[in-house]
A and B are shown apart, each in its own frame.
Chain A
Amino acid sequence: MQADGQMKTGRDLVIATLLGAEEWGVATAALVAGGCIMMRKCHLNTCPVGVATQDPELRKLFSGKPEDIVNLFQFLAEEMREIMAELGFRTINEMVGRAQFLKKREDIQHWKANKIDFSGILHVARNATGETLYNTEEQDHGMSMILDWGLVKQAKLALDTKTPVFGTFLVKNTDRTIGTLLSNEISKLYGAEGLPDNTINFKFEGSAGQSFGAFNTKGISFELEGEANDYVGKGLSGAQLAIYPAKVSTLVPHDNIIIGNVALYGATSGHLFINGMAGERFAVRNSGATAVVEGIGDHGCEYMTGGKALILGSTGRNFAAGMSGGIAWIYDINGTFRENCNQEMVDLDPLESEDETTIIALLKRHILLTNSERASYILNNWATEKVRFIKVFPREYKNVLRKKLVVA
């Protein structure tokens, strides 16, 4: 249990502890020790002491030193110790949650404050079983049986020697967060760089649980035959994910849902290919991943700041709300897209030649990975179908790219 919020002195911390906190956060006081003078202008980028600003000139004025902040925490701890000695506590742990060591001050004269009833705050909950009041047990995160242990085992050669590995696994909706632990292992060994593309090539069959491919990093290439739930490719960090319906399925992919809501949330890099429709908030806050999908729900590409989305089918309402960067191309077969797009921050433009190049390359890759019929159709009839594409281009992003061109 941690507590923070305007804690400034050792006394504050002791009270927090008696009320149940085992650890404490100190924010403002640490900033003040480092030179903040409470300008309350953090949002204006004009902080005159170089604390809350990115202005290079103003940043030079920052004069805080680590020693100042170390001193603050030493003082706070020392002050706590003084009070602890007075109250007869040897350790923090024995102090946690002992609200009976607090009482309302007896000398409150203030005409309003003297009406306060502290009984609720100072109430000491019954503890018939004599449980400790501080953290003594660890949470069981239910990870002992997860699929990823199998993945890590299968990927041993790749992890040790970067040799490509292959494997197939059956999944069901209770298999959640696939590939995340594996990615952790890769990051531990290889940092942000990860493994070379297509080093770990695993195929899954069935219905994947939530967070399929979450935070999956470079070197991973997953294929899922079947379907997936919410949060596919959340925080995608360089991996490639391809999802297509079961071979036996007779469904028309672009009319049927295959992955759930909120795919690619906060993704920074990597690829996602979906032969089918996705739910609401596809690619929300994507900042670098590239995605191909055959239809999506409401609020598509919301808050997107980078990356690419190729949507080969219908979108729901409020597409591109808060989208400040990246590009989306929509295959607007019904001519309904304009109505569904929130155009406050984006322009709807025709394709330029470089868009065409990118789209064609993505379509080819999509076909290769998911065997998409719609992609094949478009590619085969590119001359007639390309006019159906609308490019969604955030204005701010466009301006920045243009400026870069001018500079180059």
Chain B
Amino acid sequence: MQQEGLYNPEFEHDACGVGFVAHIKGQKSHAQVKDALTMLENMEHRGACGCDPESGDGAGIMIQLPHEFLWEECIKLGIQLEEPGYYGTGMVFLPKESELNQFCRTIIQEAAEERKMTFLGFRSVPVNRQGIGPTALGAEPEIIQFFVSRPDGVANTEEFERKLYVLRRLIIQKVKQKQSYPLPLYIASLSCKTIIYKGQLTTYQVGSYFEDLRDTRVVSAFGLVHSRFSTNTFPSWSLAQPFRMIAHNGEINTLTGNLNWFYAGVRSLSSPYFTAEEMEILLPIVDKGQSDSACLDNVVELLLHSGRSLPHVMLMLVPEAWDGNTQMDPLKRAFYEYHATLMEPWDGPAALCFTDGKTIGATLDRNGLRPLRYAITSDDRVVVASEAGALPIDESTIIKKGRQQPGKIFVVDMEAGLIRSDEEVKGELVRQQPYGEWLDNYKIKLEELAEPRVTFTYLSKESVFKYQQSFGYSREDLETILTPMAVTGYEPIGSMGTDVPLALLSDQPQHLSSYFKQFFAQVTNPPIDPIRERLVMSLATFIGNAGNILIEDKKFCHCVTLEHPILTSSELEKLRSIDTGVFQAKTLQSYFRADGKPGSLEAGIERLCRYADDAVRDGFEVIILSDRAIDSQHAAIPSILAVSAVHHHLIKTGNRGAVGLVVEAGDAWEVHHFACLLAFGATAINPYMALASIRTMREEGQLDTELTWDQLRKNYVKAVCNGLLKIFSKMGISTLQSYHGAQIFEVLGIDKEVVDKYFCGAVSRIGGLQLDDIAKEALAKHWRSFENNRSPKSLLPEGGVYQWKRRGEGHLWNPQTVHLLQQACRTDDFQTFKKYSALINNQKERIFTLRGLLDFAKHRTAISIDEVEPVSEIMKRFATGAMSFGSISHEAHSTLAIAMNRVGGKSNTGEGGEDELRYQKLPNGDSMRSAIKQVASGRFGVTSNYLTQADELQIKMAQGAKPGEGGQLPGHKVDEWIAKVRHSTPGVGLISPPPHHDIYSIEDLAQLIFDLKNANRDARINVKLVSKAGVGTIAAGVAKAHADVILIAGYDGGTEPLPSVRLNMQVFLGN
């Protein structure tokens, strides 16, 4: 699928039902296959269909190769198969178009010959198209099997599987040489052990479509099934699961970063199991344009074939929460910590079923965010599925019923004929190598290092002021950001969203991070509660060479480990002066010539990248990018640009894995700045200017506190760390390692070429600044302090982002607009209202919103206003925002409700229930009942009666002002009245969880919609989403989950709510 409008295929998400049926002793039977298909059918409601109900989102089954069946069928075609294990079977989707089809067939044969495998023949897979929907049929490929024999000298099936893996990659490589994406050929499986039947089918169709599956000769010891619910609205057969190793229900939130790190390390990949020639064929291992699950499958496959066992691979990629778990066995901790130095977790909700044909198992993410239930029977069968009861079993034969637990693994060894528990599997793996010893010997702990030989000079009050000016600090930053962080250890909170211009529209010189908007989880994955569920979160940081992931070597853990990525200035100096003989740091000056000439910034970045290359070549393990050395000739490269440029440059040269990238940044003070730096590649950050600013404020007596400098510094670092956790958790990411380099931002206002070069992979859809423009903004700040000033300032600029300030950032809500609007409404004066709207709409002088840059295109002749539908009709389409009784007063809340009922529009209860008193009409005929009842993550006051009293039920997936965050109503705000409405105790605080605990993915949302529709079938079900890149794709999924109304809420008010609405309009509005 191509990018179109604002649509980008990378925005697609999916989630699903998953499960398997297996015989513990490996007994093959057709019943096993049949049972698996029955299970699949009973998870139909976990899948979805698109516009046409007969086309599913995809479903499939993986079974063992049914040798007898294939042998007999092939004989009919004149193909003589070898003995089991001596031939490989490929399951392939080919284009129907004959020329391309022939091209693909030829390539398959050529490739097999090239890999010294005898090509045995093709078999067309018989299919029955009855009942398959037109959308699926429109994209249906020709499905064929091909067979190759095992070359001589291949010792065992494992080695043969490896060779088949190489063959599969070679076929893809050859196709790629001639064809561009999307490739015409897809190989669902190629193995001597397993085979996958899947397609864009509903769960019921898998068995009916593939005639093979109904043949009783098709026997297997297991059947692994998957049913897919995708936000995708475009037909795709290849996205169906299972994949070759795994079937996945969930979402990898950190995919971009995982892939970046993976690609960063491919140069250093080498394995005794593959020749250099083979390795070359395998690259790049993970192809573009695949789903997150498919990418994960590719990596699982590589690691498995490189000699690790399947459980080992799964624990390495999806580890349980180990950092901070004091109850954990030290051996297990060491195992996880060692692997953490090699690879970051692939994080996100995940129920994973995996198999290599001989063992089959399942594991769950560290948060346990997907359900997985199992039952073991007395006749040696294991049934694992997203739901209990998906396969009816005689209850009397069940000897164990359980659920998969967070971070736990469960393996059925069908060769040994036994089930291995989490303790057994892990107990064995953690003793494979002396991981603990390796760590003790090679890990460098910063706190254990000697004091640095040189300490950085203390900055005077004057220099601090100068630096503050040139890095763009405002009084507001010091007062409302740094001060509370240092004094309380927490980030400050504010209210009412923002109404300032986008960075791109602002006249104030911006911090470059302001062009980056954080993503957040909604619907397709849940945010995490970083406070209440702290135990799964981790900020552990490793600085140094990451090594080769394909082999286990003690040297790979020779790195500096940190509890969190924020370095104080003395810690940075320690790091700067480390010299273990093989571990040393190099400091690079991150500046550019402050001459204002075109190309200066670019030259500065190029120079920096060149020096970084040299440093890697010279064997340094750590690169420190420092912007301390600025002067009147040299301005700092904005740190996020410097880091990201070097990070991506090193990824391109394949060297990123070899070094840690530490930033000594003057322009990092808000949590958002740190998050940007980490997400774009920084390993650790020293915010020397923020720290010096706090110190100076304290010395100048500007902090109203008794705290010592040491305490203030600790508080500040703590506030940054907590803030980081909050940001990760908003995206559903638990660990810094996974967030590191994950680029989970939308870029708003930077030119696409700049983004592609220096922030490659980030989403940028409206264009914007070029490098010279970025330089211009940086210099506007730089020259504040470095030019020869005639009228030197004694104060920093005011800021005015969080509060309206005359000399500060512009706000659409300002003294004039607020006054005029109130005056107009109070005196019922349309002319005054027009003055108000003129101030908002006329953005010629000062621009606030993207919509302010739009004009109407008149394609029709004007008509008389009398012909336009009347005010009374239009007003029915209005709703007020969701504000809870609790956040706003009863008076304000009921006034809004009365007004909306008068005009025929809808007011919204907000989260927190509604007093039943409001269901009675007032004597004058007014009603205080809110037509829309909200169902939010706290579910306060959500009862059968409350739901029954609604005209519309709104599921608040996220809140525009603070998407992905929970809320807290402190005890003192919970008075008798509020407690009654919320069904709680007066005086006891109420916490709303960040996620809906019954919505961890799209199919869960479908379930809640179904629940609510049952609770009140006359009410429309409205799903409130917050605008972000890709919201249209999510909305399409939500429409498929049967929402009646979708609300796209503006994100932060600052980002336009509207653009994304465009997306996929037909698709879901037509549905």
Contacts and interface: CB of A to CB of B under 8 A. Distances in A.
Contact present between A and B (CB < 8 A): yes
Nearest to A227: B388
A40 B802 contact: yes
Given A85-B865, A92-B874, A101-B859, A192 B943 contact: yes
Interface in A205-249: 206-211, 214-217, 226-231, 234-235, 237-238, 245-246, 248-249
B129 interface: no
Given A69-B896, A177-B1011, A183-B1015, A127 B1066 contact: yes
Given A4-B879, A227-B401, A137 B1070 contact: yes
Leading 5 A-B pairs by shortest Cβ distance: A5-B1050, A207-B389, A27-B881, A266-B939, A88-B860
A152 B461 CA distance: 77
B948 interface: yes
B826 A125 contact: no
B1061 A1 contact: yes
Contacts of A107: 844
8 contacts: A32-B822, A39-B496, A89-B868, A121-B765, A248-B396, A251-B400, A256-B400, A285-B938
A153 interface: no
Contacts of B825: 33, 68-69, 71-72, 75
B993 A285 contact: yes
A226 B1056 CA distance: 51
B457 interface: no
A173 B40 CA distance: 12
B50 to A, nearest CB: 13
A332 interface: no
Interface in B377-426: 387-390, 392, 394-396, 398-403, 405-406
B911 to A, nearest CB: 11
Interface string B799-830: 00011100000001100011001101110101
A19 interface: yes
Contacts of B597: none
Contacts, number: 632
Interface stretch (B20-28, B80-88, B887-895): B887-895
A240 B736 CA distance: 44
Contact of A131 (B5, B1017, B1050, B1066): B1066
A251 B855 contact: no
A113 B943 contact: no
B532 A342 contact: yes
A71 B822 CA distance: 10
Given A73-B903, A75-B833, A288-B983, A87 B1049 contact: no
Given A42-B496, A116-B504, A133-B1069, A52 B889 contact: yes
Interface string A104-116: 1111101111011
A214 B1022 contact: no
B1014 A121 contact: no
B889 A51 contact: yes
A29 interface: yes
Interface residues on chain B, size class: 35 or more
Contacts of A1: 1045-1046, 1048, 1061, 1065, 1069
Contacts of B752: 117
Interface stretch (A302-310, A357-365, A373-381): A302-310
A37 B803 CA distance: 12
A197 interface: no
B238 to A, nearest CB: 23
B456 interface: no
Counting chain A CB atoms within 10 Å of each CB, the highest count among B803, B883, B1069 belongs to B1069
A324 B867 contact: no
A298 B387 contact: no
A78 B828 CA distance: 13
Nearest to B913: A268
B1007 A176 contact: yes
Nearest to A93: B869
B1014 to A, nearest CB: 4
Interface string B835-870: 011001100100101110111111111111101110
B879 A25 contact: yes
A97 interface: yes
Contacts of B1064: 125
Contacts of A280: 368, 403, 405-406
A290 B905 CA distance: 39
Interface stretch (A57-65, A159-167, A348-356, A385-393): A57-65
A54 B975 contact: yes
B1047 A125 contact: no
A405 B992 CA distance: 28
B388 A15 contact: no
B292 to A, nearest CB: 23
Contact of B938 (A123, A180, A266): A266
A92 B892 contact: no
A384 interface: no
A334 interface: no
B1044 interface: yes
A119 B1027 CA distance: 18
Nearest to A284: B997
B987 A400 contact: yes
Nearest to A288: B983
A46 B817 CA distance: 23
B495 A42 contact: yes
A72 B905 CA distance: 12
A174 B42 contact: yes
B851 A266 contact: no
Contacts of B802: 40
Given A228-B388, A251-B398, A265-B998, A59 B891 contact: yes
Contacts of B803: 40
Contact of A5 (B877, B972, B1027): B1027
Contacts of B182: none
